A and B are shown apart, each in its own frame.
Chain A
């Protein structure tokens, strides 16, 4: 996933794309396709829908560019359009696909090189937490995904989800409360906290 690119580069590309330079827009698509696809996938949980939503989002954004205010941040605006598309597809599907933990993560890797047992335990605990996330209402999962999986700032999450910053705060806190309740119901609240220490991060 891309880091936060310099806004000036976005500004330059957006300005050229607004003049009708399709190549400049292509550069913007290249730059943000991973993030857009990831966002769409977190909303839908389905690869095909996510691809559709990301593609459609980029096309719609292109045609709306003429009215994009120069100097405004491109990234959250694009994500808002993509998230909208993804939400439409999730609603058509009548359900959101479950997210999954990478299987490879069960094997020891990286600098920390935890023992296979610790790594397996960490994988198990992540699956437990994710199972709880998957059981949350769609709006809660979306909010948590924006804040913790995509690591968007409050301001960016607000723009992406089309709400105020204050609403991001309150909805995040509500989602965390519900997540805690689901975990308690699963009886995993305690074991989960052990995981993180054993996770070797």
Chain B
């Protein structure tokens, strides 16, 4: 059968798919927003942030009011919005690269401010990972050379996940189980997570890391720039229109973010700064 036939068959199939009736989503969303702080969505977002994240995931259909803001968080919220406004202004392709590198790495923007409801949730089931794969499979499915720590004890990840399509060149997650000296991140069964992707800024995959300020340190890994975050943070990325797409983040805990060649790597877990730097430095 021709390609056109198959496409027609799929369109026909789409018109005949079984779909459960849409549940009362609007009501549930309204109930959750009803208790949101007065003011703009932006103020509410940053303000409700940490608490909402720590409160964990609510259940379907139930009203989950966002906690009232704390005044000290409002100050941080204002700062976050200002920094983001600058990010959006700078989002024309010509200036994006330069702007992204003011604070951050290739494909990653760092914003000081409280993480939003998009922030850390810290449960194992919330880990945003790709499809399980072997290291060899992962190497075949992404368009960059996959690297692995050579630090003793970390040469063999306990699990590997690959997302071949997001960002465009793909992403690989190396997962290490907790063990003595490598405690599980709070609420997860994971000891350490090492993520790598090749970000090209004009593809609109600008990761943003938000964190509550403080605990950020500029470091160097094998002569390339990096950042050490001692506190929890949230994630999102900018789409091609320059809009922020919130993404559930992976692990609560400390994070080391660094570049190796044109790869961006992130190491997350309950490890000390020294250990994180040692593992990062051993990546080949």
Measured CB to CB, the residues of A under 8 A from B are: 17-20, 22, 25-26, 29-30, 33-34, 36-38, 41, 47-48, 50-52, 54-55, 58-69, 72-73, 76-77, 80-81, 84-85, 87-88, 91-92, 99-103, 105, 123, 125-126, 129-130, 133, 137-139, 144-145, 148-151, 158-159, 161-164, 167, 171, 176, 179-180, 189-190, 192-193, 195-196, 199, 201
Contact = CB atoms under 8 A, between A and B. Distances in A.
A149 B17 contact: yes
B7 A84 contact: no
B11 A41 contact: no
B220 interface: no
Given A59-B32, A162-B167, A180-B6, A101 B26 contact: no
B274 interface: no
Given A19-B40, A69-B241, A100 B17 contact: yes
Contacts of B41: 17-18, 20, 25, 62-66
A155 B167 CA distance: 16
Contacts, number: 225
A196 B117 contact: no
Contact of A85 (B85, B244, B248): B248
A29 B23 CA distance: 12
Interface string B104-147: 00000000000011100000011111110000000000000000
Interface residues of B, number: 76
A105 to B, nearest CB: 5
Q: Which of A59, A133, A171, A189 counts the most chain B CB atoms within 10 A? A: A59
Given A51-B60, A55-B25, A103-B18, A163 B245 contact: no
6 contacts: A22-B34, A63-B118, A65-B41, A81-B245, A92-B127, A148-B14
